[in-house]
Structure 1
Amino acid sequence: MERIIAVFRKYPIIPSMMTYSVLYPSANFVQQKYFRKYKPGEEKIDWQEIKRFCIYGGLIHAPLVYNWLRTAARLFPKTTMSHLLAKVALDQTLFAPVGLSSFYIGLSVLEGKDSQGVYDEWREKLPNTWAVSAFIWPFLQTVNFKFIPGRLRAIYVAVCSFFWTTMLAAWKHNSGSSQNIIPILSTK
C-alpha cells in the first residue's frame, strides 16, 4: 500500500485518471439505464458506448482537467477574492469551451465518425451545452478553488462531473439538433 501511495504522490495525475476512468463510464451507465428512452426490442445498455466513455474520461478528460487546474493555480495562486473570481471566470471562458469541445469531438472520433460528422455534432451541441455549463460550473468551481486542497481539486471536479456527465451523455446520445437539448436556449 505504501508503494501505491508513493506512486500517487510522485505522479498525482494517476489518481485523477483512475477516478475519471470510473466516473465517466459510470455516469454513462446511469444515463443509459435510468434516463434513456428505448424503442421496444432495443438493447438497454450499449457497452461499447460505456467503453468509449471510460477511454475518453481516463485518457483524455482527466489529464485535461488536471493540467487546467494546475495552470489556474499557477496563474492565480492566492486565495483572495480577485484571484478566485479570475479562476472561475477563466474556467468558463477558456476551459469550458475547450473541455466541452474535447468531449464532443473526442467521443465522436471514438465512435468512428468522419470529420464532417464530428464537426456537425460539435457545432450543433456545443453552444447550448456551454450555456448550461455557465449556470452550473461557476458555483462548483468557486467551492473548488476556495475550499478544496489543490491535490484534491481534480477529484472534486470528477465527482461533480459524474452528475454533469450524466447530462452530457444524454445530450451526446441525442441525435437531433441543439433544439432537442435545451429548447429555450436554441439558436435556431
Structure 2
Amino acid sequence: MLLLRIYQKWLNKHFLVVQSVQTGALMAAGDAIAQLAIEKKKLPEFDLSRTAKFGFLGTCFVGPTLTVWYRLLAKQFGTSSSTSTALKKMACDQLIFAPTFLSIFIANVNFLSGKSVQDIKQELSRTYLDILIVNWKVWPAVQLVNFYCVPLNYQVLLVQGVALFWNTYLSWKTQKKVD
C-alpha cells in the first residue's frame, strides 16, 4: 500500500516523467526478455547497448508520446467510460495513431542502431506490415478495456504492463536478421 501511495504521489506531481520512466523500464525489460528467452542468448552474448536503446526510446519517445496521445483522446472524446467513447478512442488509436507511431518507432530503433536512411527504408518495407498486422491482433481488445475501465492517469501504465510482451515481440522483430 505504501508503494502505491508513493507511486500516486509521484504520478500526481510529475505525471509525464513517471509515465516516461516506467515506459522506459518496461521497454528495456521487453528487450532483455527477447534476448534471453526468445533469442536464447547467453549472458556473455547479451547486448546491453540494445537494451539501453530500447529503454531510451521508451523514456524519451514512447512514454511521452503515449501520455500526450491519451490526453488528446480524452480531450477529444471525454473521459466517460461508455462503450461509445471507448470504441471511438480505440478506432482512432488503431487506425490513426498505431500505423504512424509504429513506422516512427521502427525508424527510431534502426536510427539508434546506426543504420542509414536507405537501410531504414528497407527495414520498414521488410517489417512494418507484419508488425502492424500483429498490432491489430493484440491491441484493439486491450485498448477497449483500457479506454472503458481504466482512469486516464493509469492508461499508460496498463498499456505498458501488457506491452512488456509486445515490447519483447518488437525487440525480436526489429532486431531479427534477414533470413
Same fold (TM over 0.5): yes
CA distance in structure 2 between the partners assigned to 1:109 and 1:173 by the alignment = 12
* Match 2:140 to one of 138, 141, 151: 138
Contact in 1 for aligned 2:90/2:140 (Cα 8 Å): yes
**Cα RMSD (Å) of the superposition?**
2.3
CA distance in structure 1 between the partners assigned to 2:157 and 2:77 by the alignment = 20
Q: Which amino acid aligns with 2:56?
A: I
Contact in 1 for aligned 2:28/2:51 (Cα 8 Å): yes
Deviation per CA, 1:127-173: give whole Å up to 9, x if none. 11111111110100011001111111111111111110101111011
Aligned-pair CA distance for 1:81: 2.1
What is the 5 A alignment of 1:104-119?
Answer: 104-119=106-121
Name stretches of at least 5 consecutive residues in structure 1 with no aligned partner: 181-188
- What secondary structure is seen at the aligned counterpart in 2 of 1:9? helix
CA distance in structure 1 between the partners assigned to 2:30 and 2:112 by the alignment = 17
CA distance in structure 2 between the partners assigned to 1:64 and 1:168 by the alignment = 17
- Which residue in the other structure is 1:128 paired with? 130
Q: Is 1:44 paired with 2:28?
A: no
- Which residue in the other structure is 2:67 paired with? 66
TM-score (norm 1): 0.85
Relative to 1, partners in 2 of residues 1:7 and 1:37: Cα closer, same or farther, differing over 3 Å?
closer
- What secondary structure is seen at the aligned counterpart in 1 of 2:45? coil
Aligned-pair CA distance for 1:52: 0.6
Deviation per CA, 1:48-90: give whole Å up to 9, x if none. 1011111111111111111111111111113332221111111
Contact in 2 for aligned 1:33/1:44 (Cα 8 Å): no
Relative to 1, partners in 2 of residues 1:134 and 1:4: Cα closer, same or farther, differing over 3 Å?
closer
TM-score (norm 2): 0.89
Aligned-pair CA distance for 1:5: 6.2
Contact in 2 for aligned 1:21/1:55 (Cα 8 Å): yes
